[in-house]
Amino acid sequence: MILKNGLKLLAVAVTASAVTGCIDWSDKNTPLPPGDVKNIIMMIGDGMGPQQVGMLQEYAKRAPNSVYQGELTAMEKFSQKGVVGFSSTGPEASIVVDSACSASQLATGVSSGSEMIGLDYVGNPVETILEKAKKMGKATGLVSDTRITHATPASFAAHQPHRSMENEIAADMVENSVDVMLSGGLRYFIPQAVNTDADVKQAITDLVNEPSMKIKSKRKDDRNLLAEAQADGYQLAFNLDQMESANGDKLLGLFHYSAMMDGIVHSATKEDQDRAQPTLREMTLKALDILSKDPQGFFLMVEGGQIDWAAHYNDAGTMLHELLKFDEAVAAVYEWVQGRKDTLVVITADHETGGFGFSYSRNDIPGPQSLEGEAFQEVDYHPNYNFGSLNILDKLHAQSMSFENIWYKAGGDLYGTLPTAEAIMTAFNEHSEFDITLAEAQDIVKQEENKYHVSGHPYLDTAMYPNFEDFEEFYVYGEYDHLDLIGRKIGKQQNIVWGTGTHTHTPVMVIAYGPVNVVKNYSNLMHHTDVGKTTIQALKRKL
Ligand code: MG
Ligand code: ZN
C-alpha cells in the first residue's frame, strides 16, 4: 500500500518534470501554464550587466529614501513569475562584444562580428526575429531612448557593415516598414537640403511642428524618409502630444534631433505633461496600444539605451537614473501582461559596461560602534574597512545633472574646449552630494600627449588626450573621457570602482516570463545566439 502510493507519487513527479524541465515550479508564485506564444516583447538594457541590475536592486530595496518605498522593482516582479538565466555575449571571433554585434546575435540567433548590423560573422545579411514576425503577419515595433538608428534597434531591422552608417540604417528601417518606431534621430530622416535651402528647412519645420526640435540633417543625399514613411501609411509624431493623438496602425515618432533625454532629466520632468519628449514608459505603452490591435500578434523590442552611455562615462548617479527609467518601462510591460497567457517577455542586456562595482576600501574607515548582540557586550564592533554606507545610494540618486551636462555647464564641450578646474569643481559640487577638490578638478581637466594616435579615427585622431594614471588603453573616446576622470576621482566617496571606459565580457542576466514550456528554455547558462534562437523558436509556436 505504502509502496503503491510511493510509486504513484514518483510517477506524478516524473510527469511534472518532463513538462517543466526538472524545475520545481512549486517554488514559483504563479507560473503560466504550458501554452503558445502570440506576442513577444524583448527588453534590452544596454550595458545593464549583473552589477548594474545589482545597483538598482540595492537602491530599490535598501536606500533609506528609495523611490520604490517598499515596492519591488519591475524586473524583480518578472523574475518571481518567470525564470532567470545567464548569457555570454561574445562575438564569433573576439572576447568582448559591442552593442551592434550583441543585438544582431539576439535578433538573428547566429554569431556576428564586431560593430556589424544584422549580419552573420562573415557579413551575410540574416533575417531577424522582427523580419520573421513580419512575414508571419505579426505587427512589429522598436522603441529606444537613444536614436532609432542606433546599434541596438538597428540590428533588428537593418543590415549594414558598420553601426556608424546611420543614414543607410534609417533607410533600411523605413523600407522594412516596421509598424511602430519611437525614438530619437530625426537628423538621419530629413534631406540634406535642410542645411542649405531655407524653403526645404521651413517645410520640414512646419511638418515637425515642435519648436524645441533642432532641424538639421546628417544625410548625404536628398532622400526625405519622412515623406517616404507617410507614403507607406505611417503617421508621424515629433512630440508627446502628437504621439498620444496618433490613432493609426503605423507610427514613426522621432522626438529629438539626436538622442532623447537622459535619466536625470527624465526623473526631473516625467510628471510634467507639457514635456516635448515622451518617456520610455510612455513610448512603450503607445507601442503596445498600436501593436496589440493586430489579431496575429506582434514582436516589440524596447531598449533602455543610455544605461550604457552613463557607464561609458563612469557616471554612477546618472546610471542609477537610467536604470530607474528602464525599470519604469519594464513596469509598463508588467502591467500590460497581467491576465494574459499568450505573451513572452524576455528582459536582458547586450553586455556589461564600465567594469562597474561597489567595493570596500581603506578610505574613511568607520570608527568603533557598540552593538547590542551577545558577542559585543565586552568589545566594540569595529570592521577593518569601509564597506559602503547605505546612504551612498541616496546620494547617488540626489545627483541632479549628468556629467556630460555638468561639463557643458562648466563651459566645456566635448570637441576641444576644456572647462577650467574651478568651473568644473563648482558645477560638479553644485549638482552632486559628493565633492571634488580643486586639486582633483585639475587632474580631471589634465591632458597629455596622445600615445595611441590613429589618423582619421573618429575619436583617436587628436594630439592630446585626457590623462589617465592607469588602464588608459581602456578609455577610448578622446575628450569624452574627461567625464570618466570625474567618476574615478569620486569613486572613493561612493565606494565605487570602474574597470574600464568600454565594455566587459561579464555574462548578462536573462529574465523570461510567459508560458512555462517556453520560458523553461531560458533557465540556463547560454550564449546570446541561444537566446536569439530560443526566442525565434518561440515565435514560430502556432496558437
Ligand atoms: Mg544600444
Ligand atoms: Zn557601449
Q: And the C-alpha cell for 64?
A: 533609506
Can you count the helices (H) and strands (E) in the chain? 21, 16
Ligand 1 centre to CA of 382 (Å) is 44
Considering the candidates 87, 88, 99, 102, report the single residue annotated as catalytic. 99
Work out the mean pLDDT of the chain and round it to a whole number: 94
For residue 178, what are the CA distances in angstroms to 124, 205, 535?
A: 21, 24, 19
- What ligand has the least distance to the C-alpha of 47? 2
- What ligand has the least distance to the C-alpha of 147? 1
State the pLDDT at residue 66. Answer: 98
State the pLDDT at residue 223. Answer: 98
Examine the pLDDT at 13 and tell me if it is beyond 70: no
Q: Is 99 a catalytic residue?
A: yes
Q: How confident is the model at residue 35 (pLDDT cuts 50, 70, 90)?
A: confident
- Residues 241-287 have pLDDT tens digits of 999 999 999 999 999 999 999 999 999 999 999 999 999 999 999 99
Q: How confident is the model at residue 10 (pLDDT cuts 50, 70, 90)?
A: very low
- Mean pLDDT for 223-242 is 98
Examine the pLDDT at 7 and tell me if it is beyond 70: no
Ligand 1 centre to CA of 155 (Å) is 10
- Residues 477-499 have pLDDT tens digits of 999 999 999 999 999 999 999 99
Distance in angstroms (rounded) separating the CA atoms of residues 372 and 197? 77
- Amino acid 462 reads T
Which residue is it, cell 546620494?
A: 395
Q: Which residue has the higher pLDDT, 158 or 8?
A: 158
- What ligand has the least distance to the C-alpha of 46? 1
State the pLDDT at residue 542. Answer: 57
Lowest mean per-residue pLDDT among 13-17, 201-205, 338-342? 13-17
State the pLDDT at residue 34. Answer: 72
- What ligand has the least distance to the C-alpha of 49? 2
Q: And the C-alpha cell for 232?
A: 507607406
Judge if pTM exceeds 0.75: yes
The residue among 391, 284, 349 whose CA lies nearest residue 507 is 349
Q: How confident is the model at residue 32 (pLDDT cuts 50, 70, 90)?
A: low
Distance in angstroms (rounded) separating the CA atoms of residues 303 and 46? 7
Ligand 1 centre to CA of 203 (Å) is 31
Q: And the C-alpha cell for 93?
A: 571571433
Taking every pair of Cα atoms in the chain, the longest distance, rounded to a whole number of angstroms, is: 92
- What ligand has the least distance to the C-alpha of 350? 1
Ligand 2 centre to CA of 328 (Å) is 21
What angle, rounded to 10 degrees, do the helices at 316-337 and 74-81 form?
50
DSSP structure string for 387-410: ---THHHHHHHT--S-HHHHHHHT
Per-residue exposure over 501-511, b if at least 16 CB sit within 10 Å of its own CB, e if not: bbbbebbbbbb
Ligand 2 centre to CA of 502 (Å) is 6
Q: And the C-alpha cell for 224?
A: 526625405
State the pLDDT at residue 33. Answer: 67
DSSP E strand boundaries for 374-513: 447-449, 464-466, 496-497, 503-504, 508-513
The residue among 307, 394, 325, 311 whose CA lies nearest residue 357 is 311
Ligand 1 centre to CA of 339 (Å) is 31
- Mean pLDDT for 8-16 is 39
State the pLDDT at residue 36. Answer: 80
Distance in angstroms (rounded) separating the CA atoms of residues 143 and 207? 22
Structure-derived torsion over alpha carbons of residues 283, 287, 290, 293, reported in degrees to the nearest 10: -140
Examine the pLDDT at 2 and tell me if it is beyond 60: no
Examine the pLDDT at 165 and tell me if it is beyond 90: yes
State the pLDDT at residue 540. Answer: 78
Examine the pLDDT at 12 and tell me if it is beyond 70: no
Distance in angstroms (rounded) separating the CA atoms of residues 156 and 108? 8
What is the 3-state secondary structure of 58-77?
Answer: HHHHHCCCCCCCCCCCHHHH
Ligand 1 centre to CA of 373 (Å) is 49
State the pLDDT at residue 68. Answer: 98
- Residues 297-354 have pLDDT tens digits of 999 999 999 999 999 999 999 999 999 999 999 999 999 999 998 999 999 999 999 9
Ligand 1 centre to CA of 303 (Å) is 7
- Mean pLDDT for 207-218 is 98
Q: And the C-alpha cell for 417?
A: 574646449
Examine the pLDDT at 162 and tell me if it is beyond 50: yes
For residue 15, what are the CA distances in angstroms to 19, 22, 25?
A: 6, 10, 13
- Residues 88-125 have pLDDT tens digits of 999 999 999 999 999 999 999 999 999 999 999 999 99
